Amino acid sequence: MSLSVNRDGQIRILSEDGVLVPYNGSLFYPGKLSPDLSYPQLIPKKITALATYRHQTVYLDDKQVFSNAWAGKLRINHGLPRAKLFAGRDDFNFLVSDGETIFYLNQSGERIWSGSFKGLIQISYFENLSGRNYF
């Protein structure tokens, strides 16, 4: 399960049932979770993860890291058909993994680095205060 809240407060939840959004809730009524139909182009995609990146929702599927933000310009082909983990640096470079293979990609989709880490379950980006950045 993944969760994202964008700069407009829109919540997206990835579950076994696909991407869901809160619907019809209020202070004293919990509402429910409904399929996200706001972007019909997302419906046929096999989304495996989502995250908040630079205050926007970014998705990972079996082909790309992508977002509807930035006028849809964020579309990075990753080449890992079973990709399920990703994290982005502040420069639109991303780590993408299927839990065994990991690719570091620039925003053009070029592989900057690749490696093998069997059993990988999470990727995070850490900005070090000394000026060096780490995943």
- Say what the pLDDT of residue 116 is: 95
Chain mean pLDDT for the chain: 91
Mean pLDDT (whole number) for 8-31: 90
**pTM of the model as a whole:** 0.90
- At residue 131 the predicted structure's pLDDT band, cuts being 50, 70 and 90, is low
- Say what the pLDDT of residue 66 is: 97
Mean pLDDT (whole number) for 106-114: 95
Whether residue 129 has pLDDT greater than 80: no
pLDDT tens digits, one per residue of 35-81: 999 888 888 999 999 999 999 999 999 999 999 999 889 999 999 99
Mean pLDDT (whole number) for 122-131: 76
Whether residue 127 has pLDDT greater than 80: no
Half-sphere exposure of 70 (CA within 13 A, CB side): 13
- Say what the pLDDT of residue 25 is: 82
